[in-house]
Structures are given as structure tokens and as C-alpha cells.
Amino acid sequence: MLEIYRKNQDIIIFASALSLILIALSTYIISEFWIENKLLNVLSSIFLFCASFYGALLFYLNRNKNKNLKSEKELIEVTKTKFENLFNQSLAPTLIVDKNLIIHEKNWSFIEIFGEDDQSLMNHIVNNNSMALYADVVRNLLKVEQFEFEFKFLDNTGIERFFVVNLNPYSSKGNIFYLASFIDKTDSYIKHEQFKKVAESALEVAKNKSEFMANMSHELRTPLNGIIGLSDSLLDSLKGSEERETAKIIQESGQLLLQLINNILDFSKLEADKVVLENIPFSIKKLVNSVQSTLMEVARRKGIDLNVHIDENLREYCLGDRVRLTQVLFNLVGNAIKFTERGSVNIELKEVMSTSQSQEICFLIKDTGIGMNKEVKEKLFEAFSQADSSINRKFGGTGLGLSISKKIVELYDSQIEIESVEGEGSVFYFKIKLDYAPEQAIFAQTTKQADIDISNINLNILVAEDNKVNQLVASKIFSKLGFNIDIAENGEEAYEMAIKNKYDVVFMDLQMPILSGLEATEKILAEFDFFDAPLIIAMTANSEEEDRKACYDCGMSDFLTKPIDIKNLRLVIYNHFKQLKKSA
């Protein structure tokens, strides 16, 4: 009924108004001519007036309604015209599709790119993309809300183009349609892909560089282990001054080569942002004194003084990276000694500022050397170069030490500053903020045994090492410490010997034939209960942090790098087996 009323609203209103007027007029005639009743006559007159007024009002309202409807129709026509103009003139390909993706309208931009033959957007999606994309679009259509999807298309010139399609739903005559706008992302997509390839290429280069550095480290450290280890053994056995001096030169040359290798690897890590500073307790006084004692002999040979001055206001124990700070001071002080022919090199530590939790320290290295001009200072921290070719010819070096020091100091949010006068000397200084070490850490540092004694520790030791020279070096180093060792020449042999004999500790090389050190370790530990398993310690030329982590992950207990430092080896044995000393 309601639907019938809506469709015939004007007719019904006119008929009802006319009916009321006729009824009122009939009542008036009856009261006037047939029934002479004045009251009925008055009432019929009033009823006639009301009916006439109602009819006039309905006519007025209906006229205004028709006028409004006409205005609305005109507005709709104008809006429709504007929409059609925008739709057809839009530079972006645009469609009107229904819920089945059937195309009802397409603009000229769409026709120019996609053609006008196909009447289904579904075919474009399936033919140029995938059924999975089509299924995803259909799922979103069921939600009847705005959404977008990526779309690729091979145009008539054979070029693959990429679009983002926005679908906006609207209702028309009870049906749902979608306005589909295609935004061309071909250029940005191509640039993205190009950038992606460049990034992948850069990552590949970085990976190859990292692998090269790791391999180079291993290959160079292996013969260096033989040079340094055997020269050290030779020094102990030689009595004649001339032969001993020769062996000393061999040893020092090996140490210099090792330092150069370490510098190259450190520089590579710093360039790749792979260095993370430690924050462990250390003594500033011991750090500076160790640098002085290490370089004192070099300074003495040149006839120059190497002095240390530490501000009395400084607290001795701080938290920081002792190894990296030692490296910075060693490079700066060693550099100062190298370029000083007479006079002195002074290491000074001054308090800049202090709080209840930390102190800012100025590290200052002053020399009376050759000094430098402005041009030299500007090039001073460049890697793999000397500021002046004449300096390189006279003093040698790669320039890596200063570059590494600069990068380490920058990790502390600081800079190395230089003051220099050519012919008079130079001053290098930097300021870093260090937190104070907690009291318990200071107690542990100060009560640590200075002289580590392992002379009465008895150990059954297996060394897994495939290199003959390194086998000889290991035998001599362990013999010097008072231990006899068994040697396995590959990972498989190490595994078989470890399960056959009850070893206290296995020193394991990582790169070995048949089974690698990591594989051998996992196989050995799988054969034992936790308390019966031998301690396995890496002894390898692989020095990267990834190698260290891999060793700990597979069950090793410690990590030593080649060339083997006898002091480090002694400390590792003491730390892991000092309880045996007490029971001996």
C-alpha cells in the first residue's frame, strides 16, 4: 500500500481534497434546500470552508514540492554533467564497475592504455596478475567499503606498467557500483626496484668484503702463529747475542705484521658499524701504565723520554671499553714516538668535570717531534694514506692507526683535537665521559691475583690442529707452560680421540678437514654427560665476533685467537682449572 501511495501521491492528494469539497458542498445544499436547519447550515458552511482551505493548501504544497523536485533534478543533471566531464577528461584511467567487476563505464585514459575490447576488470586482473589477487579483490568487494590493490599490466607497446587501483563504492537505484581509479606508479616502482638492486648489490659487496677480511685474517694469522710462536721459543734457547738479536728482530717483525692485520680488521669493522663498546670496570692508571711499559723500549731505543702524568683528582676505576681505549692511546703514543727524533713524549690525564656518577677525562699526548702544517693536519685521519709522501718514505706506515683511533673516539661522542707547530711538536687530545665503577667491581679488580700460577695444575690436553707448523708451535707453548699434549690432525680424529681418552680440555681449531671444529665439538659433547664432558676451548685464526658467538653457541667454553699469546693461554687455564690447583 505504501508503495502504491508513493507512486500515485499527487493523484491521491488531489482526489482526497476534491472529495472533501464535494462532501462539504453536498452537506450545505441538503441543509439549505431539504432540511431547513440553521445549525446544520452553519456547520456545513464551516466544513466547506475548511475543505476548500485544505484543498488550496495541498495545492500550494504540492506546487512547491514539484518546484523543489525540478530544482533537485536540475542539480542532479548539473552534477551528473560535471561528473561525466571529470570522468572522461581525467588523466588517470578510471572505470565504473559493479560488484561482479563488469565494466559499465570507462574513460578515454583507460581506453588509451588498456583498450576497449574487454568489458570485465576481472579478465585484466587474472590475465596480467594472478588468481590470488582476483580472490583478494572479490573478498574486499563483499565488505562494500573503500579499498585499493596493486595492479600490473603489459601495455600495447610491450612495457610492463604498475598501478595502484582505488575502489570507492556508491549506491545507484538500489545497486552497488565502484568508481575504480588507476594511479600510475610505474616510474616510482622502477626507481624502487633500481634502489633495491643497488642495496642488494651493496649488501653483497659488504658480505664479500666481510668474508674476504675473515679469510684474509685466518690465512695471515696461521703463518704468523708459527713465526711469533717459534721465534719466542727460539729466544728462550739462544744464548749468543748475535743470534738472539736476529730472533728478536723476527719476533718484532711478526708482532708488527700482526698489529697491521689487526688494524685492517678493526678498520673494516668500524667502517661497517660492527664495533660495540664494552662497559666493564677497569683501572685508568693500569691502562696508561700498560701503554707506557709496552712502548717504553721503543722510546728508549730512540733516546727519547716517555712520561706519564695523571691528575690526582681522577678516580682510578671507571666503566668503559679498556681494550679500545688502550688501542687509541697505543696508536696516538706510538705515532708520537715515531715522529719524535729527540726530546720527549708525554701522556697526561686531566679531570675536566666530575659528578657523583661520572667524570669527564681529557687524554692528552704531547710530543717534541716534527710537527705539521695546516695541509698535513687536514689529511691526517685519512685511512690508508700518509698526510705527506715524504713522511711515508721516511717513517712508513699505513695511516690506519689514527683513522681507527678517530672512529673509536667518535663512538664515545667525542673528537680527537690537534694543536701543532711545524718543527716544534704536536699535541693530540680528546675528552670522554666515563661512569665510576661500582665498589664491588673495584674490590674484584684490586684483589685479583697479579701472578697467575698454574705450575701445579695437572691436565690431560688434546689439541685439534691440522697445520704442521701450528702443531709444533702448540707443542712448544704448552711444554713451556709445563704440559704434554696429544694432537689430532682433523675434526674426525679429534672426535675419536676425545671419546676414547678422558681429556680434561680440548683446544679446538675451527677450520679442519673432514669435520670442522664446530661439528667436532657438537659430536664430542653429545657423547658425554654434562659433568663428564671435556672442556672445549677454541684456538683459532678466526677472529670475528660471529666466530666467537658460533663457538659459544655450539658448547665451547672459551675462545683464543692465533697467534697464541702465552699470557692469555695461561690465564684461560687458570680461570677454568684453578680449583685443581687447590686440591693438588
Q: By percentage, how much of the chain surpasses pLDDT 90?
A: 24
User: How many whole angstroms separate alpha carbon 424 and alpha carbon 432?
Assistant: 27
Say whether pLDDT at 22 is over 80.
Answer: no
Say whether pLDDT at 20 is over 70.
Answer: no
- Maximum average pLDDT range among 20-34, 437-451, 487-501: 487-501
**Rg (the chain; Cα; Å):** 46
Q: Supply the pLDDT for residue 34.
A: 56
Q: Is 568:440 a contact under the CB 8 Å cutoff?
A: no
Say whether pLDDT at 340 is over 80.
Answer: yes
User: How many whole angstroms separate alpha carbon 94 and alpha carbon 76?
Assistant: 21
What DSSP state is assigned to residue 355? -
User: How many whole angstroms separate alpha carbon 111 and alpha carbon 103?
Assistant: 12
DSSP for 257-326?
HHHHHHHHHHHHHHHTT------EEEEHHHHHHHHHHHHHHHHHHHT-EEEEEE-TTS-SEEEE-HHHHH
> Mapping DSSP to helix (H, G, I), strand (E, B) and coil, where does residue 376 land?
helix
Average pLDDT, the chain: 78
Q: Supply the pLDDT for residue 515.
A: 92
User: How many whole angstroms separate alpha carbon 307 and alpha carbon 292?
Assistant: 8
Q: For residues 127-156, give the mean pLDDT.
A: 78
Q: Supply the pLDDT for residue 33.
A: 58
**Strand 358-367, strand 317-320: pairing:** unpaired
pLDDT band for position 135 (cuts 50, 70, 90): confident
Which residues are CB-neighbours of 184 under 8 A, at least 6 positions away? 92, 161, 162, 163
Say whether pLDDT at 12 is over 70.
Answer: no
Q: For residues 307-331, give the mean pLDDT.
A: 90
Q: Supply the pLDDT for residue 311.
A: 93
Q: For residues 433-460, give the mean pLDDT.
A: 73
CA angle (264, 204, 540) in 5-degree steps:
45
Q: By percentage, how much of the chain surpasses pLDDT 70?
A: 70
Query: Which residue type is seen at 514?
Result: I
Q: Which of 127-131, 415-419, 550-554 has the lowest mean pLDDT?
A: 127-131
User: How many whole angstroms separate alpha carbon 441 and alpha carbon 430?
Assistant: 26
Q: Supply the pLDDT for residue 366.
A: 96
Q: For residues 255-272, give the mean pLDDT.
A: 69
Question: How far does CA 25 lie from the centroid of its chain?
Answer: 95
Q: Supply the pLDDT for residue 179.
A: 85
Residue scoring higher pLDDT (544 or 300): 300
DSSP for 163-219?
EEEEEEEEEETTEEEEEEEEEE-HHHHHHHHHHHHHHHHHHHHHHHHHHHHHHHHHH
pTM: 0.54
Q: Please write the tens of the pLDDT for every residue from 388-429.
A: 544 544 444 556 778 888 988 999 999 999 999 888 999 999
Say whether pLDDT at 6 is over 60.
Answer: no
Per residue, the 3-state secondary structure of 410-441, as one string, reads HHCCCCCEEEEECCCEEEEEEEEEEEECCHHH
Q: For residues 191-202, give the mean pLDDT.
A: 75
Short-list 354, 349, 391, 398, CA closest to 370: 391
Residue scoring higher pLDDT (85 or 333): 333
